[in-house]
């Protein structure tokens, strides 16, 4: 997940990599502490209103928004833009960028940049949410502190040209601080008030604040719980683990040991069903109507070989096309719903 409220620009990352390393001093970002604390208090109040006064339609609207914003992260920022595990026509990319803006976890290109760094340098100082610094840090603490200099420095070496060339991504980045408040806070508050005469407090604290905080925490659990708790059938030498509970809450993003071994698999898991991987069902639906294509997955023999080998902890590919991805992986990958078009 990308840092909230961070107004960094991709172009700011053009200073030389050879610059002498900065000495890291832990500095609290008090603005983020106050904002996130207030949001969580508001979410608790939202739960109270859900149980006592909010209309059923308001609660259902909040659930719908939570699903949509979740897909904006899982199917959009994560599997499509960070890992390039499949490609999407402009219609699906437009839907996903809208969902992603509702989610308010920073612009998609910034989210993808930090996530690529996370995979390339997992559990090091360059990892934005290094799980070796503890559960709290990897869950939310990393948003409450200034980034480690290694995160910024390694981020400058990540190729983001594929996303910079996408006009939909560029549009969201340029107008993010105009689009995000409208999509995440204003419209979701006004819709219940206008269409079914909900009160302002219910309309704001249930489908907006409570929904937003819940979505944030399900994303954060992938960085924290799924890096600390669970089994490791694919690579026992790395932190990421298979965590069914996280998978259920995060729309299928909890199969993390597999995902860090094969980050370019669009399913982010070996599962052949949708029971604990709703995002895969979402992508498969759009593949059937032609809006998603070139879906990449791992051959069974490759998975079996990795399981038997147990890995050596050196697998550090951020997604399809990474310079360190082996030719064997590319040759044995299964690409479905292929197309000759040049959409991302």
CA 85 to chain centre: 13
Instruction: Establish if 303 belongs to a structural domain.
Output: yes
Average pLDDT value over all residues in the chain: 89
Torsion sign, CA atoms 5, 91, 117, 279: positive
Question: Above 50 in pLDDT, residue 14?
Answer: no
Instruction: Establish if 15 belongs to a structural domain.
Output: no
Instruction: Establish if 159 belongs to a structural domain.
Output: yes
pLDDT at 307: 84
What string of DSSP letters covers 154-191? Answer: HHTTS--HHHHT-HHHHHHHHTHHHHHHIIIIIHHHHH
Instruction: Establish if 299 belongs to a structural domain.
Output: yes
Instruction: Establish if 19 belongs to a structural domain.
Output: no
Mean pLDDT, residues 144-150 taken together = 94
Instruction: Establish if 49 belongs to a structural domain.
Output: yes
Give the integer Cα–Cα distance in Å for 201 and 321: 47
With a pLDDT cut of 70, the percent of the chain lying above it is 89
- The band of 4, judged by pLDDT with boundaries at 50, 70 and 90, is very low
Q: Which domain holds residue 149?
A: 30-310
Domains contained in the chain, number: 1
Instruction: Establish if 318 belongs to a structural domain.
Output: no
Instruction: Establish if 113 belongs to a structural domain.
Output: yes
- The band of 103, judged by pLDDT with boundaries at 50, 70 and 90, is very high
Give the integer Cα–Cα distance in Å for 280 and 292: 11
How many C-beta atoms lie closer than 10 Å to residue 68's C-beta? Answer: 18
């Amino acid at each position: 997940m990308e840092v909230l409220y961070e107004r960094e620009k991709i172009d700011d990352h053009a200073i030389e990599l050879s610059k002498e390393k900065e000495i890291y001093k832990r500095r609290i970002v008090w603005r983020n502490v106050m904002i996130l604390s207030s949001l969580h208090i508001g979410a608790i109040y939202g739960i109270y209103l859900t149980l006592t006064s909010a209309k059923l339609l308001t609660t259902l609207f909040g659930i719908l928004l939570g699903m949509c914003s979740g897909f904006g992260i899982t199917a959009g920022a994560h599997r499509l833009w960070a890992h390039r595990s499949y490609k999407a026509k402009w219609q699906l990319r437009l839907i996903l960028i809208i969902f992603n803006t509702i989610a308010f976890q920073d612009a998609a290109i910034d989210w993808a940049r930090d996530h690529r760094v996370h995979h390339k340098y997992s559990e090091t100082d360059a990892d934005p949410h290094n799980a070796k610094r503890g559960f709290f840090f990897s869950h939310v603490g990393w948003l409450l502190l200034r980034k480690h200099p290694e995160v910024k420095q390694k981020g400058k070496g990540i190729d983001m040209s594929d996303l910079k060339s996408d006009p939909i991504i560029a549009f969201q980045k340029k107008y993010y601080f105009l689009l995000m408040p409208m999509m995440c806070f204003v419209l979701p508050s006004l819709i219940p008030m206008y269409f079914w005469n909900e009160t302002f407090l219910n309309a704001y604290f249930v489908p907006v604040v409570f929904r937003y905080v819940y979505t944030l925490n399900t994303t954060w659990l992938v960085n924290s719980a799924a890096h600390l708790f669970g089994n490791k059938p694919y690579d026992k030498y790395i932190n990421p683990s298979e965590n069914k509970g996280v998978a259920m809450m995060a729309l299928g993003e909890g199969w993390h040991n597999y995902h860090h071994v094969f980050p370019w698999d669009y399913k982010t898991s070996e599962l052949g069903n949708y029971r604990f991987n709703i995002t895969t069902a979402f992508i498969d639906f759009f593949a059937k109507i032609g809006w998603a294509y070139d879906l990449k997955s791992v051959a069974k023999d490759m998975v079996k070989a990795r399981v038997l080998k147990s890995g050596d902890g050196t697998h550090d590919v951020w997604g399809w096309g990474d310079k360190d991805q082996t030719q064997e992986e590319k040759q044995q990958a299964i690409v479905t719903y292929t197309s000759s078009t040049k959409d991302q």
